[in-house]
A and B are shown apart, each in its own frame.
Chain A
Amino acid sequence: MKVLAALSGGVDSAVAAARAVDAGHDVTAVHLALSRNPQSHRTGARGCCTIEDSNDAFRAADMLGAPFYVWDLSSEFQEKVIEDFISEYAAGRTPNPCLRCNESIKFEAVLDRAMALGFDAVCTGHYAQIFSGPNGPELHRAIDPLKDQSYVLGVLTEEQIAHSMFPLGDSTKVEVRAEADRRGILVAAKPDSHDICFIPDGDTAGWLSRQIESVPGEVIDVETGNKVGTHAGAHAFTVGQRRGLALGNPTGDGERRYVVDVDVKNNLVMVGPPVLLDIDVIEAIKPRWAGPLPSNGQSIHVQIRAHGDALPATVHFGEDLITIQLEEHLRGLAAGQAAVMYDGTRVIGSATVSRSRRSATV
């Protein structure tokens, strides 16, 4: 196959591309330039997409004997990932930009362009597995639970999965690092990247405050309706958050208050006791399916964070939304988060959380 390998400049994508070469594929390497103003050097484990990363990717491609190009996707990334991230936060939701990037950049803009240019598949260093099933290709969890990235790939459609290659899904990170070392890939010891790549200092709240106008407002206790404090800008708060609330007067029961809702329209941060965070019904929109749709009422597992647990649940189809009924309560789920549904290790699909509640309140 003619394979386009996306090289980030890190260990995983380099080893993935090397395995694609070993498997006999005709591999061409690209580095995705996602930042309009790339910095020259990485600093520590944070961030990505510096010129140094691009050079590391170039050297990895050299070692594989693969032609190397840089594709400028900075405009698409700005529009579909960064601006989406800002507007979601501005609307009081908590998005996952890695899912958006996989959905609209790596496996849409890049994959579409690759297919048009004559490639058969895009290869990345994600930890996930693709198996051929009775109904077509299936996306499964990686064998390394610590590295499994099937959650951030949960947005891929069957068609996208059919043209993707994840050669690392059957290995652990330790094995991949050792293999990089054995292959003489110079970035073998490079630290893993963490956090949000376009916020290199890791200070998401600080970064958002420079993008979204902060208007001070009131913090309201949902149980009493009383004002219990002020905030510098509602967008800086996420459901389930406790730190940064600075509530001067503890409530009568002495229990700690958590953010239970963010009302952007009225610029209010709603707080309450932790019990209010306990939910067992997830309502979600914009589903994307990795294969055949589940049946109504099917038992599944749902994961709501990149490295969260898979929770037993049933899925129900409504008119405009999907309802996921959890078997046990879950604490703290914000709108905007992705709910990725699994059947065993197989990804069924994903949807964006629009609301969560306790079934008792229906």
Chain B
Amino acid sequence: MAYLDNAATTPMYPEAVAAMTNLLAQPGNPSSLHASGRRARRLVEESREKVAKALGSRSAEVVFTAGGTEANNIAVKGIAWDQRKKEPQRTRIIAGSTEHHAILDPVEWLVESEGFSVTWVKSDTYGLITPDALREAIGPDSSDVAVITIMLANNEVGTVNDIIALTAVAREHGIRFHTDAVQAPAWLELNFSDLGVCAMTVSAHKVGGPHGIGALVISRDCHVTPLIHGGGQERDVRSGTLDTPAIVSFATALEISKARRTETVARVRIMRDDLVRRVQEIAPEAIYNGSIESRLVNNAHFTFPGCLGDSLLMLLDAQGVECSVGSACNAGVPQPSHVLLAMGADRDAARSTLRFTLGHSTTQADVDALIVALPSAIERAKRAGMPTLTSAPVRV
């Protein structure tokens, strides 16, 4: 089996598995006052320090959550509510048009249910959000803006935004800035204090850690209205008993990922570039989406004209090659990619995509397996064609 879907989730490092399993049978609630509780608390705080060190933040700025989606929800809703509470005219959210659904959906919920409005920041044709596009979205009057949220690296096409340049624009207006950095830590050196953001989302299972654990790195002066009440364990930002084994495993994975990053990046870059070159040899008509220069080193994302992405996925899956169409699913049905649409692609192109994402465990044999399986998959998917998208139902 060739696993080329590391942007969805990455195999855990054996050290992270060991760190977690060693603790699962041990009692100890970090909030308890006895010896077992203190031991768990110590493990959590040591892990917090490791996570902070890996991400260039202070340990007090790390708030553990049950993953990236929760961290994004806390940031977007929590900052928007807090800002509006302090200054009632702040009812506008500015968000990138290429964000993950873990940002899009909370933003849309705030608009539909909480009386906020949204301005989507336009993407260029490479999936890049530029400072000029952000300025245009902010407009002449920024006094109504509650929060800006723009992702660090795109999960579909791998485009990496220049967050430092973007936060400089936000700073001119004194607006809070959150970034969803879930796809980034395995591949990029992140320094929270240099980025200029007030909050940043990370997730363990994208860096070789376990599912169900992540963090919102949030500066001390960035206040949020909490979503979950009941104990206030994490700085009153987030309540709920801390998952000590998962937190320790997360910190272990992040530490290993950082320590081996230079080597992993160099190795993965060679394989990714080889994959791109050979896919383009097989399918010269394939469009390589996203930025060439400003891109995650593990991402290769293509449009295969005339082939439905889910046909290709199914055919490759049958040959043991696992990848993704890249876009979100609705009840198991891949939807036309909103990222590609935001980049200016038409709806057919946005349904004809495949994303190959490499990881720390990827080998050259995985890439070779894809290259063997791809030609017949393309040929058959082309024969199966593109079902037409009809317009909305018409009233007779």
Interface residues of A (CB under 8 A from B): 28, 31, 33, 38, 51, 54, 58, 67, 69-73, 75-76, 78-79, 82-83, 86-87, 90, 109, 112-113, 116-118, 211-213
Tell me whether A117 and B314 are in contact in the complex, defined as CB-CB below 8 angstroms, given that A54-B332, A211-B396 are known contacts. Answer: yes
* Contact across chains for B387 and A76 when beta carbons are under 8 A apart: yes
Once the chains are docked, how many angstroms separate the CA of A233 from the CA of B394?
19
Mostly, the A contact residues are helix
Q: A83-B393, A116-B380, A117-B311 are in contact. Are A69 and B387 (CB under 8 A)?
A: no
Chain A to chain B contacts (Cβ below 8 Å), 7 pairs? A70-B333, A71-B333, A72-B334, A73-B387, A83-B394, A117-B381, A118-B380
Q: Are B396 and A212 in contact (CB under 8 A)?
A: yes
Q: What 0/1 readout, one digit per residue, does chain B (306-336) give for beta carbons within 8 Å of chain A?
A: 0000110011011000000000000111100
Q: How far, in whole Å, are A79 and B331 apart by their CA atoms in the complex?
A: 21
Chain A residues with CB under 8 A of B334: 72
- Within B366-396, which residues are at the interface with A (CB < 8 Å)? 380-381, 383-385, 387-390, 393-396
Q: Which of A73, A86, A87, A118 contacts B315 (CB 8 A)?
A: A118
- Tell me whether A51 and B331 are in contact in the complex, defined as CB-CB below 8 angstroms, given that A76-B387, A78-B393, A116-B385 are known contacts: yes
User: Which of the listed residues B317, B318, B332, B384 has the most CB atoms from chain A within 10 Å of its own CB?
Assistant: B332
B326 to chain A, nearest CB (A): 16
Residues of B near any A CB (own CB < 8 A): 310-311, 314-315, 317-318, 331-334, 380-381, 383-385, 387-390, 393-396
Q: Is B331 a contact partner of A87 (Cβ separation < 8 A)?
A: no
| Residue contact B390 to A78, C-beta cutoff 8 Å | yes
A54 in complex: contacting residue of B317, B331, B394, CB < 8 Å: B331
A69, A109, A117, A118: residue with the most chain B Cβ atoms closer than 10 Å: A117
Are the CB atoms of B310 and A69 closer together than 8 Å?
A: yes
Complex: how many Å from CA A75 to CA B348?
14
Name the CB-closest residue of A to B395: A211
B387 adjacent to A109 (CB under 8 Å): yes
Q: Report the minimal beta-carbon distance from B246 to chain A, rounded to whole angstroms.
A: 27
Q: Which residues of A contact B389 (CB under 8 A)?
A: 75
Of A38, A113, A212, the most chain B CB neighbours within 10 A belong to: A113
Which residue of the partner chain B has the closest CB to A67?
B317
Distance (Å) between the CB of A71 and the closest chain B CB?
8
With a cutoff of 8 Å between Cβ atoms, the chain A residues found around residue B390 in the complex are 75-76, 78-79
Chain B neighbourhood of A76, CB < 8 A: 387-388, 390
Return chain A residues, CB-CB under 8 Å to B387: 72-73, 75-76, 109, 113
Q: In the complex, A31 Cα to B332 Cα: how many Å?
A: 9
- In angstroms, how far is the closest chain A Cβ from the Cβ of B228? 24
Q: How far is the CA of A70 from the CA of B383 in the complex (A)?
A: 19
